[in-house]
C-alpha cells in the first residue's frame, strides 16, 4: 500500500511541477470554443440562447476525456519506448498490475480535476447558464465514468501506440470520437441520419455527454441516464482489462 | 547472511524483438536455422540456450561476453523484466517468476542505459525510490543526502536531469539502486561510457558494497573490469556458459597462457608441423587464409624461431600479435573469436 501511494505521490509531484502548461492544455481550447459558440454565435442570434446549456455538458466531457487520455498515454508512450523511465517503478516491490492501476487512478484524478476547472470557467465565459441541480448523484457517477474511460483509454492507447504515431492517435482516434460523440449536439439530432445514429452508439463518449446532459440540462433531449451509466461501465471494464493486459505485454518481454 | 543467485537451465527465445542492451550496435544473437533472416511475421531469436549459474552469497560475480551473448537477458530474467521460456531463476529463497514482489525487495538494478526519471530532480529520484520501498521520510532524506555526497552529486542534487553528463547519470543510477540497501546488486555494463576516473570511483563503490556482505552480479565486455572486480566469473557466448571460475583459474586453463596470432601468405602442412613441434608450444590452431594461433608458454622468445621456419618454408610472415595470459585469450580459446568482435 505504501508503495502504491508513493507511486501516486510521484505522479502528483510531476503534475504539480507542470501545473501551468497543464492548465493551459486543459483550459485553452474549450474556452475558445465556449466563447465562440456560447457567446459570439448566441449573442449574434445565429444560435438560440438555449444552445449554451446543450453545449456545456459536451465541453466538460471532452475536456475530461482529453485531460485523462493525455495524462496517461503521452508519458507512457515515451517511457515505454524511449527513455524506459518506467522501469524504476516496475522494480518497486509491488505487482506490476498495480503500477498500471496507479496510472489509471492518477489519470482519473487528473480528468476529474480538469472537469472541476473547466466547468466553472465555461459557465462564466458563457455568462451564466441555467443548469439543473436536481441530479448531483447522477452527475458524480457520470463524471467518474468519463474519467475512468479517459484514464483506461489512455493506458490502453499508451501501451499500444508507437511514439511515431502520436499525431495519428489524435487525428484518427480522438477526432472521430469527439465529433461523433454527441458533444456539440444531442443524440436525437442525428435522427435524420438513421444509420449514423446507430453507429455512434459504439462511441463511449456519446454516453458521457448524454449522461451529463441528463444530469445538468434534462430539458434537452437525451439518452436515458441508466443506459448511459451501464454503457460507461461496460466500456470502462473492457478498457481496464485491455489496458492492464497491454501494459503487462509492454513491460515484460 | 547474504543472498545468493541461482539459475537452472535458463532458456529464452524471443518471439518479438529482444531488448537490446546496446541500441544501435550489431546484435550477435544466434538466429534459428543459422541464417540471419527475419521472417516478416515472427521473430525467433534464441537469446539463452540453457544457462546454469550459481552465485554465492556475498560474492562479486562477473558475466563476461560479447554483445548479444545473453548477458542482459540473464539479468532481465533475474530482475523480473524478462520471462524465461524454460528453466528456473532464484534469488535467495525465492523463485523469481513465482514471487516477483519478494524478489524486487531484495534486488537493486543498474541498467546499461540509464532509465532515470527525467521529470524529477536527482534528489527526488532517490527520495521517491526510497518511498517505493517503504523507507520512512526522515531515513529517506538522510540516506539520499549520504548517497548524493558519496557519488559527488550534491551540487546538482536539486536540479532536473537535463544537462547531466553521462557519467553523472550513471552515478545517479547506481545511487538509486543502492538507495534501499538491496541484498543483491545487478550492474549491467556499469562502466560503459565512463571516463577512467569515474570508473575507478565506481569500482571503489562496488568493492565497498561488497565488503558489507552484499552479492553483486555485473556484466561486462571489458576484460580488465571482469578481471579486477570479480571473484568468480562466467564467460557466456551465444546464450551459453562456456567457462566458469575465478579469473586466475580461468586464465590458468588456457594451454600455455600466451597466444601468438600469426598471419602467413600460405600455410603448407610442413610449416604447421614444424610450428607445432617448437618447444613450449602447447596447441596450434590453423585459421582461414593463412592465419595460425599458437598457444605457448612463451611469447616474444618464440618470434625468432617462427621467422626462421617461415624463411625455411619460403612463406611470408605478414603479421604477428602476441597476447599475454588474459581473459581475452580465454575467450578466444573457447570460441575461436576475439571478444572485441
User: pLDDT digit string (tens) for B178-199?
Assistant: 999 999 999 998 887 778 888 8
In whole angstroms, what is the distance from residue B77 CA to residue B95 CA? 11
Q: Do B132 and A14 touch (CB under 8 A)?
A: no
Residue A24 forms contact with B (CB below 8 Å) = no
CA pair distance B191, B167, nearest whole angstrom? 9
- Find the distance separating the first CA and the last CA of chain B, reported in whole Å: 40
Per residue in B67-116, pLDDT tens? 888 888 999 999 999 999 999 999 999 999 999 999 999 999 999 888 89
Cβ of B101 and A253 within 8 Å? no
> Looking at the DSSP assignment, which residues form a beta bridge with residue B319?
B263
What is the rounded (10 degree) CA torsion for B124, B212, B234, B70? -20
Q: Please indicate, yes or no, whether the overall pTM of this predicted structure exceeds 0.90.
A: no
CB of A225 closer than 8 Å to CB of A187: no
At residue A119, the 3 state secondary structure works out as helix
Average pLDDT, chain A: 90
Chain A within 8 Å of B124 (Cβ-Cβ)? Answer: yes
Q: Give the CB-side neighbour count of residue A247, counting CA atoms within 13 A.
A: 29
CA distance B116 to B114: 6
* Per-residue cell: B18: 529482444
CB contact under 8 A, B131 and A88: no
Strands B281-286 and B107-110: unpaired
Instruction: List the single residue in B16, B117, B134 with the smallest CB-CB distance to A2.
Output: B134
The per-residue pLDDT for B193 is 73
Q: Is A209 in contact with A61 (CB distance < 8 Å)?
A: yes
If you measure CA to CA, which chain B residue comes closest to A97? B101
For residue A247, the model assigns a pLDDT of 93
Strands B281-286 and B258-264: unpaired
Closest CA to A142 of A240, A42, A216: A216
Helix (H) or strand (E) holding B24: none
On whether the CB atoms of residues A253 and B83 are closer than 8 A, the answer is yes
C-alpha span between A201 and A187 (Å, rounded): 9
Element (H, E) at A149: helix A136-158
Question: Which residues on adjacent β-strands are paired with residue B235?
Answer: B64, B243
Contact criterion met (CB < 8 Å) for B131 and A89: no
pLDDT in tens, B17-63: 655 544 433 333 434 434 444 444 567 888 899 899 999 999 999 99
User: What strand order describes the sheet that includes B45-55?
Assistant: B30-31, B45-55, B5-14, B86-91, B94-95
Give the closest-approach CA distance of A5 to chain B in angstroms. 8
Amino acid at each position: 500500500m505504501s508503495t502504491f501511494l508513493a507511486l501516486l505521490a510521484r505522479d502528483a509531484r510531476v503534475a504539480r511541477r507542470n501545473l501551468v502548461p497543464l492548465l493551459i492544455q486543459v483550459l485553452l481550447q474549450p474556452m475558445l470554443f465556449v466563447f465562440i459558440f456560447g457567446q459570439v454565435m448566441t449573442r449574434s442570434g445565429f444560435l438560440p440562447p438555449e444552445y449554451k446549456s446543450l453545449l456545456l455538458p459536451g465541453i466538460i466531457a471532452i475536456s475530461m476525456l482529453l485531460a485523462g487520455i493525455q495524462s496517461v498515454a503521452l508519458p507512457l508512450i515515451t517511457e515505454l519506448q524511449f527513455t524506459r523511465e518506467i522501469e524504476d517503478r516496475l522494480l518497486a516491490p509491488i505487482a506490476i498490475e498495480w503500477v498500471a492501476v496507479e496510472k489509471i487512478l492518477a489519470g482519473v484524478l487528473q480528468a476529474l480535476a480538469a472537469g472541476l476547472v473547466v466547468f466553472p470557467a465555461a459557465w462564466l465565459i458563457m455568462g451564466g447558464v441555467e443548469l439543473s441541480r436536481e441530479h448531483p448523484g447522477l452527475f458524480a457517477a457520470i463524471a467518474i465514468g468519463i474519467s475512468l474511460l479517459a484514464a483506461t483509454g489512455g493506458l490502453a492507447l499508451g501501451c499500444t501506440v508507437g511514439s511515431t504515431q502520436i499525431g495519428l492517435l489524435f487525428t484518427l482516434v480522438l477526432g472521430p470520437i469527439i465529433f461523433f460523440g454527441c458533444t456539440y449536439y444531442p443524440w436525437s439530432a442525428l435522427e435524420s441520419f438513421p444509420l449514423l445514429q446507430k453507429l455512434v452508439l459504439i462511441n463511449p463518449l456519446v454516453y458521457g455527454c448524454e449522461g451529463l446532459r441528463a444530469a445538468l440540462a434534462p430539458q434537452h433531449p437525451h439518452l436515458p441516464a441508466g443506459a448511459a451509466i451501464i454503457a460507461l461501465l461496460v466500456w470502462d471494464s473492457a478498457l481496464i482489462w485491455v489496458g492492464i493486459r497491454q501494459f503487462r505485454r509492454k513491460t515484460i518481454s | 547472511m547474504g543472498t545468493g543467485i541461482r539459475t537452472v537451465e535458463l532458456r529464452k527465445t524471443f518471439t518479438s524483438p529482444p531488448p537490446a542492451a546496446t541500441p544501435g550496435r550489431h546484435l550477435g544473437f544466434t538466429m534459428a536455422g543459422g541464417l540471419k533472416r527475419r521472417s516478416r511475421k515472427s521473430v525467433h531469436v534464441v537469446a539463452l540456450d540453457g544457462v546454469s549459474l550459481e552465485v554465492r552469497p556475498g560474492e562479486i560475480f562477473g558475466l563476461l561476453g560479447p554483445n548479444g551473448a545473453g548477458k542482459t537477458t540473464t539479468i532481465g530474467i533475474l530482475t523480473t523484466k524478462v520471462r524465461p521460456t524454460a528453466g528456473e531463476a532464484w534469488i535467495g529463497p525465492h523463485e523469481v517468476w513465482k514471487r516477483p514482489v519478494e524478489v524486487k525487495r531484495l534486488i537493486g538494478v543498474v541498467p546499461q542505459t540509464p532509465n532515470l526519471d527525467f521529470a524529477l530532480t536527482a534528489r527526488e529520484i532517490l527520495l521517491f525510490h526510497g518511498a517505493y520501498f517503504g523507507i520512512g521520510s526522515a531515513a529517506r532524506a538522510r540516506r539520499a543526502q549520504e548517497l548524493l555526497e558519496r557519488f559527488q552529486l550534491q551540487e546538482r542534487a536539486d536540479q532536473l536531469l537535463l544537462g547531466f553528463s553521462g557519467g553523472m547519470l550513471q552515478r545517479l543510477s547506481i545511487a538509486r539502486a543502492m538507495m534501499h540497501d538491496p541484498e543483491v546488486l545487478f550492474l549491467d555494463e556499469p562502466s560503459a561510457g565512463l571516463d577512467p576516473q569515474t570508473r575507478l570511483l565506481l569500482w571503489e563503490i562496488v568493492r565497498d558494497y561488497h565488503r558489507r556482505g552484499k552479492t553483486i552480479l555485473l556484466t561486462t565486455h571489458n576484460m580488465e573490469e571482469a578481471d579486477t572486480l570479480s571473484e568468480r566469473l562466467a564467460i557466456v557466448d551465444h546464450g551459453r556458459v562456456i567457462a566458469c571460475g575465478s579469473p586466475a583459474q580461468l586464465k590458468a586453463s588456457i594451454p600455455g597462457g600466451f597466444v601468438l596470432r600469426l598471419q602467413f601468405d600460405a600455410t603448407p602442412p610442413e610449416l604447421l608441423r614444424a610450428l607445432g613441434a617448437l618447444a613450449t608450444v602447447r596447441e596450434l590452431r590453423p585459421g582461414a587464409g593463412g592465419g595460425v594461433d599458437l598457444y605457448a608458454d612463451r611469447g616474444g622468445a618464440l618470434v625468432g624461431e617462427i621467422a626462421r621456419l617461415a624463411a625455411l618454408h619460403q612463406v611470408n610472415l605478414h603479421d604477428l600479435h602476441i597476447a599475454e595470459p588474459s581473459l581475452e585469450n580465454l575467450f578466444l580459446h573457447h570460441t575461436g573469436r576475439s571478444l572485441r568482435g
